[in-house]
Structure 1
Amino acid sequence: MKKLQQAFSSENFRQQAHSLVDLLADYLESAQNQDLQHVIPYKEPDESFSFWQTDYEKGQENVEDFFKTVIEQSTHLHHPQYMGHQVTPPLPITAIASMLSGMLNNGMAVYEMGLVSNPLERILSELLAKKIGFDKNSGGLLTSGGTLANLTALLTARAAKTDVWEEGNTDKLAVMVSEEAHYCIDRAARIMGMGNAGIIKVPTNDRLQIRTDLLEKYYQEATNNGFKVICVVGSACSTSSGSYDNLEEIGKFAQKHQLWFHVDGAHGGAVVFSEKYKYKVKGIENADSVVIDWHKMLMTPALTTALIFKRDEDSFKTFQQKAQYLWANQYSKDWFNSGKRTFECTKLMMSLKVYSILKAHGEEIFTENVDYLHGLAEKFVALIKARPNFELAVEPESNIVCFRIILPNQESNVINSAIRKQLLQEGKFYIVQTTLRENLYLRVSLMNPLTSEKHLVALLDEIERISKQIAQQ
């Protein structure tokens, strides 16, 4: 028992927590000031495993040393030259809230275990529903990530359009989605047993938006082939290119054929907080369900995703199971028993992290961040266009920009892939790459409000330097 008593010592915790806060504050300062030499201290996977295997074999040691090592070996999202994936540098207040929720560890499947987090989750759902344009009949929940949220939305669509809970699949079901949609939609449909043929991928236009003029054609073909289409999905925005689908036209199509209209706004749905940019999701108010990640442009630690329903009662149709040790009535619509509406039973107190932002900074900080990041992308586009050896994949609509460098007598896909690899290995910048219509592009997601135009200029300079170096080789 001696070890357990020491492990639960409040004084030990006080010392370790103070030490960690000091360590993180110093880290935050060094990342923002670019005192850190690398945005990403990249190692090959086997080398990284060997490093941590050696660390493990050392056995027990000072936990502060371990924390320092974790920081040193991690990718630094708060560095202004982090421009990689769509993961936000979280606001510092959320790290404090994470410590609080980690210590309390109140799961929230049932109200008694979620006395705080269930009411907060309802407040946050109602806030987003209002921003989307839904009325008082709406509602929602939080899930661990957009993939799970999108799957839950499609399961709800299935429950609303056909009865499979008791009888199983009796129809050949299908869902319609853009060929540029996030892979999790495809994965969700396959999990639901729709198979390859049940995922109707509609081609995109030259802006990589779903071709709404083809929706009717693809719907009729599916129907003629014996499929029952239950849902059409709009991307707001697509992950690879940041392009927004025409939600107004998709909504009209869904209404015409009485389909469930789902909007995957995991990344770009955050524009509902912006007066300047919310026009990009015009028509989102006609959706039956919407997914928005708090952990992307809304500065909350991953994973924290909202799934919002136009009609809150729909969310209770998804899972209707008996669990006498959790709740007495499986059919009652208890907003305060979140386990009735999600895959997750013991769910993290994720609402606490978002709510801490509202209490510390107010709703306006979301607006400010969305506006800044979109505006920064517009500046980056101007910088790219000013350099004749660069080209855009598509005119960006969000804070995601896809571009490449073109060099005489060089195969574009090869040279840009090599540039990205060298950037990764050198670690001064972190960007990614994507393939759009068989062409490889460098891809930047501007997620850090401390990134400025000078950092973007430096990135383009670095790409040009590396490209010349590679071309000479």
Structure 2
Amino acid sequence: MNLADAYNPDLFRQQGHALVDLLADHLAQAESGTAPVLTYAEPDEQLAYWQADFAQPTNADPLPLLTNMIQRSIHLHNPAFMGHQVAPPLPLAALTGLLTGMLNQGQAVYEMGMTANALERIVTGWLAKKLGLGAAAGGLLTSGGTLANLTALLTARAVAAPADVWTEGTTNRLAIMVSDEAHYCVDRAARIMGLGSAGIIKIPTNDRFQMRTDLLEPYLAKARADGLTVFAVIGSACSTSTGSYDDLTAIADFCQAHGLWFHADGAHGGVAALSDTYRPLVRGIERADSVVVDFHKMMMIPALVTALIYQRGTDSFRTFQQKAQYLWADADAQDWFNSGKRAFECTKLMMSAKVYTVLRTYGEGLFAQNVEILYGLARQFAALVRERAGFELAVEPESNIVCFRYAGQTSDPAQIDLLNSQIRQRLLHKGQFYIVQTTLRERVWLRVSLMNPLTTAGHLAALLDAIEG
């Protein structure tokens, strides 16, 4: 095929119709739960399959290839998908992704992303209001919670550190304080920033896997005695392994008393603020200096779309201070419409369109419904676990994450660990359900993240039956 034919609108129309039909059939089958949630293949086997495929002659009809991609992937819209914290995307949001892929707008400079930058301003403003962050709040969208948390901590360092690190560097031994149950990306961000192991002060958690805020004072005193300059405290809303919420109000009080930056990692659970029922879980988040929320976790948007919101929107301009004359006439101007001044990405995806389209079409109530269905489902599942002989619950769930295990008649901890690891592997290879495992207090637990609002109590009972089997 020559290049002009590859751009042919009629060919695109034909291929597009065929692909939408294919995806609609996939969606119907996945939502019915009649097919496996995945057909597992070992890594080398999967690679060999695609290497053999790549060696085949080209085919002008892409449909067989796209069909294979679907069949050999995990199916998030299957109600038996209960594994990682990734949403089954709304079909409308995925369709908007097709549009943004075709438009291919960057956002670093206004004229390359006129609509996307305006929509981002509206979406981040809407979320800031829902979080209760106040009229001066503002922020940006970026590619995932890892990048958003790193950006927030860079801002915290720029604002709170004793020197202008961006231009002068620093020899100060900087540090952050964070729960030992926080997401690994916070640890990674700190190491990228050069804080080292000593600069990541991990606060122990209580029996509910929440930060022990009563230890913040003595840990800060010890850090200072050791010559460390603590500049930020990170609260988890919620933690990754168990879905537990830190006491954000207590962290806010501590940070206010000591002049420290308070960052709330709400990548997964910050959306509780959208629900009248579960909003108390994030009480205190409105006092955070910065907050991260993933739209691709609990808000049904295709990955990756993450909001980073600042209590004071002007702080977002203090993270990066580079001059790029070919991009901006005035590098120091705080213009919201040139996204590249505040984000790592230069050619940033038009991610705001997906969120905006869902809000304009369905309204914000759809997001609240999703939170309430999934959080409620976790509580139903916890009740089912408690009722079954031989099962144990790690902790009562606060979010839509539940950690549990099957002990049967065994009391030996090592045997229970081995048993649950084997159960997880057998479930993976059978493909009937997809769950994961985690380690809590050095013990192995099975873990479900209930991400699909079409999952029911019946599916959860069937999972427990399969585990017993």
Amino acid at match of 1:43: A
Quote the Cα distance in structure 1 between the aligned partners of 2:151 and 2:213.
Answer: 25
* 2:40/2:429 contact within 8 Å kept: yes
| Aligned-pair CA distance for 1:357 | 0.7
Aligned counterpart, 1:106: 105
Quote the Cα distance in structure 1 between the aligned partners of 2:360 and 2:313.
Answer: 26
Matches within 5 A, 1:360-399: 360-399=361-400
| Aligned-pair CA distance for 1:120 | 0.5
Quote the Cα distance in structure 2 between the aligned partners of 1:160 and 1:130.
Answer: 23
SS in 2 for 1:58: coil
CA-to-partner distance for each residue in 1:391-412, whole Å, 9 max, x for gaps? 1111111000000011224611
* 1:108/1:117 contact within 8 Å kept: yes
Aligned counterpart, 1:173: 174
Aligned counterpart, 1:461: 465
SS in 1 for 2:106: coil
Matches within 5 A, 1:210-229: 210-229=211-230
| Aligned-pair CA distance for 1:40 | 1.2
* 2:390/2:409 contact within 8 Å kept: no
Aligned counterpart, 2:287: 286
CA-to-partner distance for each residue in 1:266-304, whole Å, 9 max, x for gaps? 000011110100100000011000000000110000000
SS in 1 for 2:356: helix
Quote the Cα distance in structure 2 between the aligned partners of 1:278 and 1:463.
Answer: 33
Aligned counterpart, 1:341: 342
Amino acid at match of 2:17: H
Amino acid at match of 2:219: Y
Amino acid at match of 1:239: T
Matches within 5 A, 1:67-466: 67-162=66-161, 163-409=164-410, 411-465=415-469
In structure 1, stretches of 5+ residues that fail to align are 466-473
* 1:373/1:447 contact within 8 Å kept: yes
Aligned counterpart, 2:19: 20
* 2:252/2:284 contact within 8 Å kept: yes
* 2:314/2:334 contact within 8 Å kept: yes
When the two structures are superposed, what TM-score results if normalisation uses the length of structure 2? 0.98
387-396 or 258-267, larger mean C-alpha shift: 387-396
| Aligned-pair CA distance for 1:35 | 2.9
237-246 or 127-136, larger mean C-alpha shift: 127-136
**RMSD of Structure 2 on Structure 1 (CA):** 0.8
Amino acid at match of 1:424: L
SS in 2 for 1:116: helix
In structure 2, stretches of 5+ residues that fail to align are none
| Aligned-pair CA distance for 1:386 | 0.4
* 1:394/1:402 contact within 8 Å kept: yes
Quote the Cα distance in structure 1 between the aligned partners of 2:57 and 2:160.
Answer: 55
SS in 1 for 2:89: coil
CA-to-partner distance for each residue in 1:114-153, whole Å, 9 max, x for gaps? 1110010010111110011111111010000000000000
Count of residue correspondences: 463
| Aligned-pair CA distance for 1:5 | 0.5
CA-to-partner distance for each residue in 1:362-421, whole Å, 9 max, x for gaps? 111001100000111111011001012111111111000000011224611000000000
Quote the Cα distance in structure 1 between the aligned partners of 2:243 and 2:361.
Answer: 30
Quote the Cα distance in structure 2 between the aligned partners of 1:90 and 1:378.
Answer: 23
Quote the Cα distance in structure 1 between the aligned partners of 2:34 and 2:459.
Answer: 14
When the two structures are superposed, what TM-score results if normalisation uses the length of structure 1? 0.97
SS in 2 for 1:441: strand
CA-to-partner distance for each residue in 1:313-371, whole Å, 9 max, x for gaps? 10000000000011011111010001000110000000011111112211110011000
Quote the Cα distance in structure 2 between the aligned partners of 1:117 and 1:198.
Answer: 37
Aligned counterpart, 1:50: 48
